[in-house]
Amino acid sequence: MTAWSQRKADPLHCFLLASASGVSYNHVMQKIAGLIAMLAGLSQAQAQVSPAAQRGLQFSQTNCVRCHSIDKVSPSTLSIAPPFRDLHQRYPVENLQGPLTEGIRTGHPTMPEFRLDPGQISDLIALLNTLK
């Protein structure tokens, strides 16, 4: 008998090999299940973003993102421009409705004066509400 066939014939060894591969199979399945749950959670989170907030995001990408951060994590491109996610800590974001209608003026000349129409404003506020 060769050493190989001796090993193969050893029942304990076979059992260990089988259970070892069983463990790693379960482990992989667990990971896959976790990944599927995570993906499901992600698409759910995305589904919760209203069309208004999506339009607000698009508007901000065009007009505001070159200075302000408009997401939950990144710093503002222009460091003195407050990230949009911080605005709600200063005042209820609905309060921006007036200033945005009349043309928002900040104490800082860097920010151009924007006048938004009511639709753009409610879209923007919808976006700000997703960043809380």
Asked whether the beta carbons of 98 and 118 are under 8 A apart, the reply is no
Write the CB contacts of 115 (distance below 8 Å, at least 6 apart in sequence).
100, 101, 102, 103
Pick 10 or 113: Cβ nearer ligand HEC: 113
Provide, rounded to whole angstroms, the least separation between the CB of residue 23 and ligand HEC. Answer: 54
Q: Is 90 in the site for ligand HEC (CB under 6 A)?
A: yes
Q: Which letter, b or e, does each residue of 88-124 get, where b requires 16 or more Cβ atoms within 10 Å of its Cβ?
A: beeeebeebbeebeeeeeeeeeebeeeebeeebbbbb
Among 106, 117, 118, 132, interactor with ligand HEC by CB under 6 A: 106
Residue 89 binds ligand HEC (CB under 6 A)? no
Q: For ligand HEC, which residue of 57, 87, 126, 131 counts as binding (CB under 6 A)?
A: 87
For 38, phi then psi, to 5°, come to -65, -45
Q: Does 110 bind ligand HEC (CB under 6 A)?
A: yes
Considering CB under 6 A, how many residues would be counted as binding ligand HEC?
Answer: 22
Decide: helix, strand or coil at residue 114. Answer: strand
Binding of ligand HEC at residue 80 (CB under 6 A)? yes
108 near ligand HEC, judged by CB under 6 A: yes
Q: Does 107 bind ligand HEC (CB under 6 A)?
A: yes
User: What does the radius of gyration of the chain's CA atoms come to, in whole angstroms?
Assistant: 28
Provide the binding-site residues for ligand HEC, judged by CB under 6 A.
Answer: 60, 63-64, 66-68, 78, 80-82, 87, 90, 96, 104, 106-108, 110-112, 114, 124
